[in-house]
Chain A
Amino acid sequence: MSEEKKQLITIESGEAEQPFRWSAGTYGSRFLTELRDHKRFVGIRCPKCGKVYVPPRRVCGPCFVELTELVPVSDQGEIITYTVVSFGFVDPATGKQKPVPYGYAVIKLDGADTYLLHYVDETDPAKIKVGARVRAVFEEERHGSMLDIKYFELLER
């Protein structure tokens, strides 16, 4: 560091916390409750286009109508695309470095028309394939969060 730079002062934001309280909404809460209590996935069907959204949401953007019909979807599905995250970064939820590497994929559950982003239990990209079948593995202790799903396990390697 140059002498000039050494004289320039910076400060850290330190241990300051800024807590928020967010709402999952009625359908989001139902989805998370089903995960937590029954290890089940639930979606919602659009009355106009028939698309099943997972997680369930109140509105279909393209149709701009209200959704009310909850439908069960599978805990199994297929990989749409994937990567293996190996760079370090700060997880804003914890303020700590996220442990790497980990498999990371966009997953289409059977019966859903939308996709979930989640972990995959594989860190060698050569062993993950687009279209590979996966199944959700749940945490023993669940709190009503997407992290109640530990990861998706590859059913074929």
Chain B
Amino acid sequence: MGKRVAITGVGMTKQRSSRPDVNGQELINEAARMALEDAGLTRSDIDAVVIGNMDHFEGINYVDTWSVDGSGALMKPIMKVTTGGTTGTTVAMAAYYHVASGLFDRVLAIGWEKNSESDTTGAIITAFDPFWDRPIFAGAVAGLALEATQYMHLTGATEEDAAYVAVRERKHALNNPYAHLHMNLTIEDVMKSPYLSWPVKMGDMCPRTDGACAVVFVSEDAAQDSPQKPAWVLGVADRHLWAYTSDPYANQAIENGWWFPAMEWSARELYDKVGITDPLEQIDVAELYLPYSFAGLRYMESLGFCGRGEGPALVRSGAFDMGGKCPVNPSGGVMSSNAIGATGLIRVAECAWQIQGRAGDRQVPDVKIALATGFGGCFWSDILLFGAEKPEKSRG
């Protein structure tokens, strides 16, 4: 059986549209030093580092080597992990696996991105097949627009339903000093914003952000010395599928009862392992990788908060607002900050802060269980659950 693992330190840069005052290594160092200080540790206490960012976004490879002075990994084991949009959550999962294995007691997980350094859509396109995808594929915005059209067709959801999510996320961000966008929007503002790729408008999409995040994962033994209340990892699951960019819209999946197989499958697996039978009742707060507004409708269904097509009504009831049954993205989420390689890890960091009661003006009262997700590429999914109580055992 694996060791039980907790988060005891978090560091995060303020998320900004552009950080020309630092290079990648210097940006990484800001988050790394903050996380170590938060955990009451020094560089010499760290046994290993896991780091990740998006392939091709900065056009500079080998972050695991050139960042060692900034990441703290100098002459230590370090591993680069890059899985697209899920990079930040996969970095967290890899750090968790390191510690749960019993081979490492204290591991520093780092996710970062300088999205300002390239054309995001152009960079994303290079992740895909040069024959079948690249000549036509128009990156994340258009890919998500295809999902939104299909979702509206299947459920009757509207652009206004999605705009509700966009407004909610930006309102939440007003409470988060780390968020990139601080915008007090109305549904009308979102509806009037220009189409990027119908039905997705400017107001529905995440921004491009520069930022870094670092999180300290420690074993149950090392957690005893922690100055912070440990935020325990209850379990993690992930699923990748689909080879080409047109695969996720497969009717076979829908006919077979799967709308978003990777997320539905990973959520079910993790809920079963951890004992979540009613997510809306049992999960106190969720930090979800919602890259655009329609995700805040559809993914609530995929995560089991409600049935198929019931997302818009549940969202508009305020269940996921601050003060609602399960507030989603008190931080303002991905629609308010998206330094992609850091984004998934920020979801994890925000869950830890919520469990520790350290989330400031965005704190949800008395958080016992928190959910984080990562989303990426051809609709794949990482999912992680955190708890205030030490679990009976570690679950992978």
Contacts and interface: CB of A to CB of B under 8 A. Distances in A.
A113 interface: yes
Q: Which residue of B20, B145, B200 has the most chain A CB atoms within 10 A of its CB atom?
A: B145
Interface string B304-336: 000000000000000000000000000000000
Given A104-B142, A130-B149, A87 B196 contact: yes
A135 interface: no
B139 interface: yes
A157 to B, nearest CB: 17
B158 interface: no
Interface in B211-250: 241, 243-247, 249-250
B127 to A, nearest CB: 10
A115 B195 CA distance: 25
A83 B132 contact: no
Interface stretch (B37-45, B117-125, B366-374): B117-125
Interface string B241-265: 1011111011110000000000000
B252 A113 contact: yes
A84 B195 contact: yes
Nearest to B126: A92
B141 interface: yes
B135 interface: yes
A54 B312 CA distance: 35
Interface in A94-144: 98, 104-108, 113-119, 125, 130
Contacts, number: 118
Interface size class of A (residues with CB under 8 A): 35 or more
A118 B244 CA distance: 13
A8 B210 CA distance: 16
A80 B150 contact: yes
A106 B197 CA distance: 14
Nearest to A81: B150
B197 A87 contact: yes
Contact of A5 (B20, B149, B200): B20
A68 interface: no
Given A89-B122, A89-B138, A106-B146, A84 B197 contact: yes
Contacts of B121: 87, 89-90
B138 A116 contact: no
B130 A91 contact: no
A26 interface: no
Contact of B59 (A13, A20, A104): A13
Nearest to B245: A117
A45 B241 CA distance: 20
A63 interface: no
A65 interface: no
B142 A115 contact: no
A12 B134 CA distance: 24
A147 B59 CA distance: 27
A119 B138 CA distance: 11
Interface in B61-102: none
A32 interface: yes
B122 A91 contact: yes
Interface of A: 4-5, 8, 10, 13, 20, 22, 24, 28, 32, 51, 55, 57, 61, 80-87, 89-93, 98, 104-108, 113-119, 125, 130, 145-147
9 contacts: A4-B21, A61-B241, A61-B243, A83-B149, A89-B138, A90-B122, A98-B138, A104-B136, A105-B146
Interface of B: 20-21, 59, 119-123, 125-126, 130-139, 141-142, 145-150, 153, 194-200, 241, 243-247, 249-252
Which 9 pairs of residues, A with B, have the shortest CB-CB distance? A89-B121, A83-B145, A90-B122, A81-B150, A87-B196, A90-B119, A115-B246, A117-B246, A125-B198
